[in-house]
Structure 1
C-alpha cells in the first residue's frame, strides 16, 4: 500500500466530543485559529504526497475507513492549512472541504494516534 498522507494527533479540543456525536471530526494543523481550535483534532505533521481519491483508505489508530467522496477543496486545504473535515456517513457527494467515509462507527481519538491515508 502507498501512503498518501500521514499525521499524528497532538491535541484534542474540548468541544470535539460534540462533533463526534454528529459523526464528524475536524482536523487542523496546530496553528488553528483560536476560535476553531476547541472543535478540532490538532496535529503537527502534514505529510501529503499525492492527490487523495475515492476508494483510498483512511486509517485512524487501527481502524480503516474507505473514502467514498473527496470534496474539491480537500487537497488545497490539507496542503495549505492541514485542515479538513472527516464525515462518517457513507455519502458519495457533499461539501468541498470534507472527506466522506464509509458509514462505520466514529473512532475515539487519542493524543499520539496516527492518521493516514493509503492507496491499495
Structure 2
C-alpha cells in the first residue's frame, strides 16, 4: 500500500526517502500553522486537519516535515502536518508550496 505522504526537506532527503521526498530551498514560516489553514501547491488548495506538536518548530528550524493526506484530526506523529483525505499531489521543480490562512 502506498503511503499518502510527502516528506519535505530543506537540503535534500536521505536516499531511502527520495521516492516520497521533496527538496526545497526557501523556508519562511511567518506564523505557526494551525488547523483550518490551507496548504497551497500552485493553484490547488488542501485543508489542514491536524498539526503535530513539532511541525512549526521543525519547519522553521530544519525545513523538514511530513505532509500526510489522510484527513486525520488527531496528530499521531509530532513532525507531521495532516491534510484532507485526497490523492497525494505531485510536486515538480519550480512549484510553489505555501500555507495560507
TM-score, structure 2 normalization: 0.89
- After TM superposition, the runs of 4+ consecutive aligned structure 1 residues lying more than 3 A away are 32-37
Residue 50 (str. 1) matches residue 16 (str. 2): no
Say which of 88, 99, 113 aligns to 2:81. Answer: 99
Q: Deviations over 1:48-96 (max 9, x none)?
A: 1001000000011221110000000001100111000000000011211
What is the CA RMSD across the aligned residues, in angstroms? 1.7
Structure with higher strand content: 1
Gaps of 5+ in 1: 1-17
Going from structure 1 to structure 2, the CA distance change for 1:37 and 1:90 (only over 3 Å counts) comes to closer
Query: What residue in structure 2 maps to residue 87 of structure 1?
Result: 68
The change in CA–CA distance for 1:49 and 1:118 in structure 2 (over 3 A counts) is same
- What count of residue pairs does the alignment treat as equivalent? 99
The equivalent of 2:52 in structure 1 is: 71
TM-score if structure 1 supplies the norm length?
0.76
Unaligned runs of 5+ in 2: none
Which one scores higher on RCO, CA 8 angstroms, separation ≥ 6? 1
CA 91–45 in structure 1, closer or farther in 2 if over 3 Å, else same: same
